[in-house]
């Protein structure tokens, strides 16, 4: 420990971020942690212990690093998934501090697997970025939208010069007075792709500005829409638009969920559909965010995108074959390369699903992960609706001491 450096950090003569310029990551982490410990009076017995590569994390994932926060990791399954990219039985990694969540997901996985597995399909796959421009008037706004349509191929070429894997799929204009929002949509292969599409769109914006009398107000104008509840993402999709379904037999429902198909259908209708509508909710589901968040943390996804994942709709319908259950996620933003997927613990969770790193061909691993997450969310929905239908929710939490 360099005591002179420690004193400078404590006195503010050296900023927390500056120490990384002169020291390797591990030494910088140790000095920052010691300074913060003395400044706050807290002894950090736990956050100092971690196994991932501090050097790599400091370069790619975190600034002013002082350690790591540990989240308990559980597993649910096996969960049978019948998708285009995920096919087989999977053990689902769930990082959470919410007691009873893993147990509930595990029960849902058991129900789905006993009924032959969840069918899962991806309908759209595109990541978006939407810069906002200011024109002189609505006539100028009209000219800009027409220019974009006429010059899409040139915008595509300019954007794709910045990336090996990203492909510009469309540019959709939206106008509010003299404000013009251009929603760029990309195929980002196995990356979740926010950084990729931001850089690519910035390059395309230069072309827009060079040939139009307009002003760029912001590279993101909130029509993307990133990390916020938005009807735009429900209607047009963002990331992966994916649906999963399964038909539950009456005997399985009675044996594993201790209720009836009729009761579950009514709970779903009055809770997930009517209740959500009455509340003005953008998500018509029981707790999709619970499973999404736990899998996002375990698998190195951007946790803030749980906001978009919660835009899910759960349906349950009585049929002659049994209870038809489905979940549709219009905006599931996930990837298997980049970001937190590089961290050792998260890589192991992705490897557990057979979805670590880049797929062959590109994009297949991220789609596989999206299908598995959708099936896991369906499992969570079935289990919670079953518990509510049987009036077991409070009893389960009480029994587990929560």
Annotation marks residue 302 as catalytic: yes
Determine the Cα–Cα distance for residues 91 and 94; give it in Å rounded to an integer: 10
Catalytic hit among 226, 245, 302, 308 = 302
Annotation marks residue 397 as catalytic: yes
Annotation marks residue 21 as catalytic: no
Task: Tell me the backbone φ, ψ of residue 132, rounded to 5 degrees.
Answer: -115, 135
Determine the Cα–Cα distance for residues 121 and 241; give it in Å rounded to an integer: 9
Task: Tell me the backbone φ, ψ of residue 189, rounded to 5 degrees.
Answer: 55, -125
Angle at 294 between CA 275 and CA 252, to 5 degrees: 65
Catalytic hit among 38, 53, 98, 160 = 98
Q: In Å, how far are 131, 142, 179 from 136, measured between CA atoms? A: 17, 11, 9
Closest CA to 331 of 231, 399, 258: 231
Determine the Cα–Cα distance for residues 392 and 384; give it in Å rounded to an integer: 9
Closest CA to 185 of 197, 176, 199, 202: 197
Catalytic hit among 38, 160, 392, 397 = 397
Which residues fall within 8 angstroms of residue 356, CB to CB, at 6 or more apart? 336, 341, 347, 350, 365
Residue 27 C-beta-side C-alpha neighbours within 13 Å: 12
Task: Tell me the backbone φ, ψ of residue 184, rounded to 5 degrees.
Answer: -80, 130
Angle at 261 between CA 256 and CA 262, to 5 degrees: 145
Q: Annotated catalytic sites, by residue?
A: 98, 302, 397
């Amino acid at each position: 420990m360099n005591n002179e450096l420690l004193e400078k950090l404590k006195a503010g003569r050296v900023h927390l971020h500056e120490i990384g310029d002169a020291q390797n990551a591990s030494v910088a982490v140790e000095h920052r942690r010691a300074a913060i410990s003395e400044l706050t009076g807290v002894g950090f017995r736990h956050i100092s212990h971690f196994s991932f590569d501090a050097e790599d994390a400091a370069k790619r994932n975190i600034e002013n690093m002082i350690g790591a926060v540990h989240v308990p990791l559980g597993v649910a399954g096996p969960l049978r998934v019948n998708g285009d990219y995920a096919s087989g039985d999977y053990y689902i990694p769930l990082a959470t501090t919410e007691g009873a969540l893993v147990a509930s997901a595990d029960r849902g996985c058991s129900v789905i697997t006993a009924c032959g597995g969840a069918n899962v399909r991806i309908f759209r796959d595109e990541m978006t970025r939407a810069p906002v421009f200011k024109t002189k008037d609505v006539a100028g706004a009209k000219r800009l939208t027409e220019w974009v349509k006429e010059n899409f191929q040139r915008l595509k070429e300019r954007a794709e010069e910045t990336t090996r894997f990203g492909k510009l799929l469309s540019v959709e204009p939206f106008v509010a007075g003299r404000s013009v929002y251009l929603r760029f949509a990309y195929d980002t292969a196995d990356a979740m792709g926010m950084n990729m599409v931001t850089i690519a769109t910035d390059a395309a914006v230069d072309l827009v500005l060079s040939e139009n009398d307009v002003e760029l107000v912001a590279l993101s104008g909130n029509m993307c829409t990133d990390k916020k509840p938005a009807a735009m993402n429900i209607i047009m999709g963002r990331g992966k638009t994916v649906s999963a379904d399964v038909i539950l037999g009456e005997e399985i429902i009675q044996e594993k969920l201790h209720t009836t198909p009729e009761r579950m259908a009514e709970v779903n209708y009055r809770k997930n559909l009517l209740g959500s509508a009455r509340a003005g909710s953008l998500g018509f589901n029981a707790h999709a965010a619970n499973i999404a968040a736990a899998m996002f943390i375990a698998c190195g996804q951007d946790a803030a995108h749980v906001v978009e994942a919660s835009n899910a709709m759960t349906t349950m319908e009585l049929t002659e074959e049994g209870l038809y259950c489905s979940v549709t996620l219009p905006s599931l933003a996930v990837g298997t390369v980049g970001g937190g997927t590089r961290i050792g613990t998260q890589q192991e969770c992705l490897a557990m699903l057979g979805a670590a790193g880049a797929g062959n061909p590109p994009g297949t691993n991220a789609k596989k992960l999206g299908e598995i997450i959708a099936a896991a969310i369906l499992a969570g929905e079935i289990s919670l609706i079953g518990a509510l239908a049987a009036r077991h929710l409070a009893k389960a939490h009480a029994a587990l001491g929560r």
